[in-house]
Amino acid sequence: MITIPVSSHDAAQIFALEYYLMTEKKFTDTIFMLWSTTPTVMLGKYQDAASEVNLSYVKDHKIKIVRRRSGGGTIYTDEGGCQFTFIQPTTEKVIDFSTGMNLIVTALAQLGISVTIDGRNDLLAKGRKVSGNAQYLEGNYRLHHGSLLFNTDQASMARVLQVDPLKLASKGIASVRQRTGNLQQQRPDWSATIFRRYLKQTILEMIPHSIYHLTSADKTCVSKIKQRKFKSPFTNKPFSDQFSCSKKKYLKGVGLLQLSFTVKEQRLTAIKLTGDFFSTLEPKSFSTALVGTTFKPYPVFQALSQVLTATPIMGLTAETLTALIFEQQDN
């Protein structure tokens, strides 16, 4: 394993570094990084900022917003927690959280902190979420990054995040504050700085590793990628929000899905897919593949089958997505 020291607290800079390591540097061994941020909102690849975030509060409190290249949900991070990254060479084109999450669970256990894996990508401590994880594939690499809440400002998190009621209902809760917790409850004598130091030390003791320090040339390339791909969280927001119909549903093992579309003369003329699911699907490609399709179940199913065969959405079938589109809304 190769570990790379990270001094930046700018999430956009670190996301650019991750992308650089996968697309240009291309190490042949697994990469591990541990890092933290100033107060930041991280949007999933397929999420709409206006629906997920209290934008006025974020602006007033100068909280940064950045969009990940991975799917999953929106999270809030600050100096009270940490983020970890694993970049693994792979020829398997599948999302798989097991290796990274099991490693984190084992490392935390060695620190006397007990957590359990919940669902597809969360870690819980005493029934409360303390870690969210996300992945994406790029070339022959799988990137797994996640967050750990140690003494994160829960009040700010609750004000920043606007979690969809359907998602909250699926967890049997009414608010973000009910869902999340901090690991400091199990180590009240530690600061977040001490926690990060011990966690990194523990992981590096578990796996033989070497250290790679970024060169000035590396840093120049990363800065260019940041400007090109992570400058604004709104740059890859797909198309207009003006649609005549919208269908939304939380599916276990998939996540929250929302399909917004317009039909004219029995054909789809616009369609947008948003949510907290995991895929390598590009939003514009999804729209392009569906626009013009006859608005009947079988033609839509055929088009969706082709899209999802080429770029699967974790846990989702074309049949399920077709059923959502044509599902009758309750009056």
Q: How confident is the model over 129-155, as pLDDT tens digits? A: 999 999 999 999 999 999 999 999 999
Mean pLDDT of all residues belonging to the chain:
91
Instruction: Tokens 């590096």: give the residue.
Output: 204
Q: At 173, is the pLDDT very low, low, confident or very high (cuts 50, 70, 90)? A: very low
How confident is the model at residue 328, as a pLDDT? 72
The architecture CATH gives domain 2-229: 2-Layer Sandwich (3.30)
Report the pLDDT averaged over residues 303-312. Answer: 95
φ, ψ of residue 17 in degrees (nearest 5):
-60, -45
Q: What are the residue ranges spanned by the domains of the chain?
A: 2-229, 245-325
Over residues 25-41, the pLDDT tens digits come to: 999 999 999 999 999 99
- Output DSSP code: residue 5: -
What are the tens digits of pLDDT across the range 206-248?
999 999 999 999 999 999 999 999 987 664 444 345 688 989 9
Q: What is the DSSP letter of 180?
A: B
- How many Å apart are CA 133 and CA 211, to the nearest integer? 24
Q: Which CATH superfamily is domain 245-325 in?
A: CO dehydrogenase flavoprotein, C-terminal domain (3.30.390.50)
Find all residues with CB under 8 Å of 47, minimum gap 6, and list them. Answer: 67, 73, 74, 274, 275, 276
Q: What is the pLDDT of residue 174?
A: 47
- E-strand ranges in the chain read 2-3, 31-35, 40-43, 64-67, 75-77, 81-89, 116-118, 122-125, 128-138, 141-149, 210-211, 245-251, 255-264, 267-275
| Residue 49 clears pLDDT 60, i.e. is over it | yes
CA dihedral 64→67→71→77, nearest 10 degrees, is: -20
Q: In angstroms, how far is CA 316 from the centroid of its own chain?
A: 17
Look at strands 75-77 and 128-138 and give their pairing.
unpaired
**Nearest alpha carbon to residue 314 among 177, 156, 120:** 120
More confident residue, 172 or 296: 296
The percent of residues in the chain predicted with pLDDT above 70, rounded, is: 91
CB 124 within 8 Å of CB 132? no
Task: Count CA atoms within 13 Å of residue 60 on its CB side.
Answer: 8
Tokens of 261: 């579309």
Q: Which residue has the tokens 């990274």?
A: 100
Q: Return the pLDDT at 238.
A: 40
Model confidence at 121: pLDDT above 70: yes
Give the span between the Cα atoms of 299 and 293, in whole angstroms. Answer: 7
pLDDT > 90: percent of the chain: 82
- Is the pLDDT at 172 greater than 70? The verdict is no
Q: What is the largest CA-CA distance in the chain?
A: 66
Average pLDDT over residues 34-57: 94
Residue 50 has pLDDT above 50, yes or no: yes
Give the span between the Cα atoms of 1 and 278, in whole angstroms.
Answer: 26
Least confident of 10-14, 160-164, 206-210: 160-164
Q: What is the pTM of this model?
A: 0.87
Q: Look at residue 165 and tell me whether its pLDDT is greater than 80.
A: no
Q: How far apart are alpha carbons 114 and 99 in whole angstroms?
A: 18
